[in-house]
Structure 1
Amino acid sequence: MQTLKHYSILALILICFSCDVKPKKINYGSDGCHFCKMTIVDKVHAAEIVTKKGKVYMFDATECMINFMDEFDTSEIKLYLSNNYTEPEALIDATKATFLISENIPSPMGAFLSAFKNKADAEKTQAEKGGDLYTWAELLAKFKD
């Protein structure tokens, strides 16, 4: 009976740790994009989706993440993350980000799309590089067109 109790406790511990819902560090130059299969090398344009069960999908660009959503049950997604343009490798909540589409800032898949953690940084970059600003909802609507 005591052994059964130990196995039950161990099973509970494993369940708690197996459903860890958090982003994974992208290994630039070796991890591949789940959508287009290109190697992720750009440290300011990569993105991730994390499901409610903790599965992580990596993308070389936010536009690949958005295109991937067309073939995925989005009700299973917990986190949408994009690299912060002003802080290479840092992942930010894409649903709260401000996005800039500027032809003066190339992105891996040619959408010229960059994400910013705060609107002030996006506006500053827009003033320098030109382009149009979008919220997450506006960006999704633009990509559906």
Structure 2
Amino acid sequence: MKRIGALIAAGIVLAATPSFAQTVGTCPRGGGSTQPQPVRILFDLNSSHLRPAEKPIIAQAVKTAKDRQVSAVCLIGHTDKLGDKAYNLKLARARAQTVAAEMIRDGYPAKNITIVADPEAFGNMSFGNDNASEIDRKVTIFYAR
């Protein structure tokens, strides 16, 4: 009986999470010269909270997607190479989810958003002090057709 209660509780928690896709490893991407350029949303070290300056960039990305009739977007969350790899995977996903939530608030359909976590830029390569590069702490918005 305890198992059934735990399963029901887990189902309630899952049902309460955002409904956008959380696909790992696949991003529908378009191509060609008419495709909007990818957009970068930067984050602070060890954070998945949006900087206030990034909100208008996301709003413009949503406007671009609507104006250009983009059928889907892929949000790829990234981290720098500092810290534990498992933690960085969670942080990369949390960053992408934060951007997805903001896009949904700005009116982009949740069903058209795919989330991918791609932590630790450049894989196993080490750049010493440059492992903490701000440009690596980002979510990249790719547009698909």
User: Counting strand residues as a fraction of each chain, which structure ranks higher?
Assistant: 1
Tell me the TM-score range normalised by the shorter chain.
Answer: under 0.3
Structure number with bigger Rg:
1
TM-score, normalised to structure 2, is 0.26
TM-score, normalised to structure 1, is 0.26
User: Counting helix residues as a fraction of each chain, which structure ranks higher?
Assistant: 2
Bigger relative contact order, structure 1 or 2, given CA contacts below 8 A and separation 6+? Answer: 2
